[in-house]
Structure 1
Amino acid sequence: MILKYSLYLLLILAVFLGIYLYSNLAYDKSVAELSKRWAPEPSQFLNVAGMNVHYRDEGPKSDKAPIVLIHGTSASLHTWDGWVEVLKEQRRVIRFDLPAFGLTGPDPKNNYTIEHYAKVVIAVLDKLKVDKSVLAGNSLGGYIAWATAVFHPDRVSKLILVDASGYPYDPESVPLAFKLSQNPIASRLLKNILPKSLVEKSIKNVYGNPDLVTEELVNRYYELSLREGNRSALKARFEQTLPGALIEKLHTVSVPTLLIWGRKDRLIPLKFGKQFEQEIVNSELIVFDDLGHVPHEENPQATVSAVLKFL
């Protein structure tokens, strides 16, 4: 009798699981399909390292040292919308979707090392004929920004690091989507299944105030994650872009550096911001008490004001 009921229970669970998975089927979408919504003017595409890199170049082209904005893991150039609206009035602002993310999509050679990401930054700037720039980056983008300053110091005039990564990982809390993407079984399952609720929960995890996460914001992250190849590339990104590899070279960064940190960042806690401040001689740390891991997106007005003062 017990065995009979157990089998019934397993059958019911299997049915509910099947319904749940079917209701959350999410197949890859083409760049052409996604571009209709996410790449209107002034979006353009640039052929770099075998990829069509999605980018935007705004503000006065006479600016000799433009600001280059580099987003973090699973984000896109849209994360900087609030900053760009303010900065482009005075400065030339360039931003682009990194390999593995947004509309740029996977690297054709499946290369997501920090060295390669820095090379892509320089390749984009070379194509746009930019000799020197202010590099700003959040999370992974911050790591790429300061790594570029390490490898190509002559190409960077200033740095703005927003809750940047690069130190050995020591999170207080990791978004569920990040955890699943690193699990072999779960990542295989997520190839064609992606609950929007999972994306929403992951975004709320990195906000200081989860109530600020809107349906429009969730839709953006969700839809761009469906860009063909992005989900499999995310797993490779976590395996290859290893933190800690360049820490011994961080002291070589000597350009003026602004560090912006959200005190409520549980992914890369404030203690790492303080470590960056100690290691980079010419640096200043500004902490926003109510913000989380993406302060530029959560409160662009407050954070960009600090950037304007720094510049």
Structure 2
Amino acid sequence: MLLHAGLQDSRMWAQQVPVLARRHHVICLDLPGHGQSTGYDTTQAMQQVLLRVLDELQVKQVALVGISLGGACALDFALAHPERVSKLALVSTSVSGLEDRLDAQTKQVWPRITTQLVRADTAAAAEEFTRAWFDGPARRPNQVNARARRLLYQTTLTTMRAHRLSGWPRLSSQPAAPQVAKLTVPVLVMVGQQDLPFILACGQYLQQTVADQTGLVIANAGHMVNLEAPALFNRSLLAFLRP
């Protein structure tokens, strides 16, 4: 099951699904408030939503792959329903409960985005999002893959205009950080070297705390690792998923 990043949709996995489908059954969905999802039921946490999806599909156990927001959703589900998860890949994932490690750069990201949204300038808000969550703090737009950047920007803009941040997936009220040590399934922790400091700190925490984990840092990639380094991402993920 592939869980996309915030303000993106299942199409961000276009370079992964055909490769994974050669060896695996792949479930790829749009999270609430994203893509083609409809309705705005904010009463259910994502762990409940994912459980319902798996039950409806009659899938007893799944390997979860989540990036960014999708990674946080995957982590919540694995902690709540460990018997339903065979493996867990957390890509560019923040960990709730580590807010004391937030750095100044990361703290500035969402205020800049919401300032533009308050002004009803979704194009500027989407650009702010892209600068933070694709370029990263140390790169300029002309230093990254233009095609992948444009895809992320356009998807972000479409999501902002279609959903207006309504029905955003609700995470668990219980912080994940104190619980991750009890994970017993194999965990892949993947981050891009050019990501924001807080995401790198969360990745480091997971590598230090989870017993059965494989850590991987992708050089010359930011937050959206699968878009920037698809070939390396696919090889690494396939190797992790191998029985």
TM-score scaled to structure 1, two decimals? 0.66
Aligned counterpart, 1:220: 155
Identity, in percent, stands at 24
The alpha carbon displacement at 1:75 in A equals 1.5
Cα 1:181/1:101, change in 2 over 3 Å: farther
User: Structure 1 segments of 4 or more deviating over 6 A?
Assistant: none
Select which of 210, 232, 236 maps to 1:306.
236
- Taking the aligned partners of 2:39 and 2:105, their CA distance within structure 1 comes to 27
Return 159-168 or 147-156, whichever deviates more.
Answer: 159-168
User: Which protein, 1 or 2, shows the higher relative CO under an 8 Å CA cutoff with sep ≥ 6?
Assistant: 2
Partner secondary structure for residue 207 of structure 1: helix
Give unmatched runs, 5+ long, in structure 1.
1-67
- Taking the aligned partners of 1:279 and 1:118, their CA distance within structure 2 comes to 22
- Taking the aligned partners of 1:80 and 1:88, their CA distance within structure 2 comes to 12
Cα 1:300/1:172, change in 2 over 3 Å: farther
Cα 1:138/1:171, change in 2 over 3 Å: farther
Partner letter of residue 123 of structure 2? K
Select which of 12, 19, 28 maps to 1:86.
19
- Taking the aligned partners of 1:275 and 1:176, their CA distance within structure 2 comes to 22
- Residues 177 and 198 in structure 1, CA contact (< 8 A), matched pair in contact too: no
Q: Deviations over 1:126-184 (max 9, x none)?
A: 1111110000111121111121111111100000000111242314534977325656x
Aligned counterpart, 2:48: 119
RMSD over aligned CA atoms reads 2.6
- Residues 164 and 268 in structure 1, CA contact (< 8 A), matched pair in contact too: no
Select which of 260, 264, 278 maps to 2:190.
260
Give unmatched runs, 5+ long, in structure 2.
none
Q: Deviations over 1:65-90 (max 9, x none)?
A: xxx01112212111111111211122
Cα 1:266/1:307, change in 2 over 3 Å: same
- Taking the aligned partners of 1:102 and 1:89, their CA distance within structure 2 comes to 25
Equivalences, count: 230
Aligned counterpart, 2:218: 288
Aligned counterpart, 1:155: 84
Cα 1:267/1:199, change in 2 over 3 Å: farther
- Residues 63 and 85 in structure 2, CA contact (< 8 A), matched pair in contact too: yes
Partner letter of residue 159 of structure 1? L
Q: Deviations over 1:38-92 (max 9, x none)?
A: xxxxxxxxxxxxxxxxxxxxxxxxxxxxxx0111221211111111121112211
Partner secondary structure for residue 226 of structure 1: helix
Cα 1:164/1:268, change in 2 over 3 Å: same
When Rg is computed on C-alpha atoms for both structures, the one with the higher figure is: 1
